[in-house]
Structure 1
């Protein structure tokens, strides 16, 4: 396992539609392990493959609660409900934070590292983190959804996604 370099905006890979993962092998496992190590090293709560320069639909979310680490491969949002607005940051935009409105609830279908399909439902902060990472896989950056940028002193305990 290794800590990878975070790709910074305006790198092209951050704004493109990522490819579907078709091979569920040791190489994929290593990418997932490296993504986790990288996310932890940079104090993130989520990371997507394009953020380490890989053009594949792979993301990880771990907000530090009892849910643990969620590996999302080829994720697809099935349902959303409600609305929430809160601060977001991004490992590819160090020091930049903004208010973003997203659905409060999300239901997602994805695959695990072995290729097995599963569904997950999330609310509140976990739903926000999952949606932020899925956006990355479609070349959508949080900056395109910011209603107001925030100064660092306006933030209390906000983790970068």
Structure 2
């Protein structure tokens, strides 16, 4: 097993749809084990294969109450019930969190590491994690679900050595569906951003502001210079 590099927004692979796994073999199991080690090292609850550069429909989960991680191959959500608002973050958008709507309950199925069929009815964090990770496999990020006029907030994380800690910054990334003028809150702390529209996160338009912020914090390597659609980052 080995720890892989986690791809961060706006790496274009995060917007690509993962391919179905035709056979659960040793290569798939090795990938999944690397994902678990990477996820645990980063302190995450879930990880999708494209977050480490592999376009395969493989997910790993490690819920707080479980001793070990789960391997999910070709996970599908078959049904959902209810709705709730939850604060969500992502290893591919380090330092941020936002309010989204998720289902109260989901019915899902997948193959385990031995190719056996698994069916579950999940609630609470389990349901939330399933929806979040299946979204990843389809090229969808949680910021695509941000509630109208919601904003991304700075979360307390450790930045790269010599860079400012994200919990010391006021990051005003506003989502404005109606192009209304929303002024950033006044604060004594350093403001890295003023505003960024939802279209800047979701569409193929410019994301220079967020690229700058993630580079400043040391999350995006300088080697990633272009984020044009279709660019191959594998």
* Structure-1-length-normalised TM-score: 0.90
5+ long unaligned stretches in structure 2: 157-234
**Partner of residue 132, structure 2:** 132
Q: Provide the C-alpha distance between the structure 2 equivalents of 1:60 and 1:106, rounded to a whole number of angstroms.
A: 17
Provide the rounded CA distance (Å) in 2 between the counterparts of 1:130 and 1:69.
13
In 2: Cα distance, 1:14 partner to 1:128 partner = 19
Question: 2:29: which partner in 1?
Answer: 29
1:1-161 aligned at under 5 Å gives the runs 1-66=1-66, 68-147=68-147, 148=150, 149-152=152-155
Task: Name the SS for the 1:22 alignment partner.
Answer: coil
**1:121-160: CA deviation from partner (whole Å, max 9, x where unpaired):** 110111101110010001111110112223437xxxxxxx
- In structure 2, how many angstroms separate the alpha carbons of the residues matched to 1:65 and 1:72? 18
RMSD (Å) for aligned C-alpha atoms: 1.4
Q: Which structure is larger by alpha-carbon Rg, 1 or 2?
A: 2
1:89 Cα deviation after fit: 0.6
Cα distance in structure 1, aligned partners of 2:66 and 2:13: 32
Helix, strand or coil for the counterpart of 2:122?
strand
Is the contact made by 1:21 and 1:56 (CA closer than 8 Å) also made in structure 2? yes
- Structure of greater relative contact order (alpha carbons < 8 Å, 6+ residues apart): 1
* Post-superposition offset of 1:23: 2.3
Q: Distance in 1 between matches of 2:100 and 2:44?
A: 17
Distance 1:68 1:130, change over 3 A: farther
Is 1:45–1:62's contact at 8 Å kept on the other side of the alignment? Answer: yes
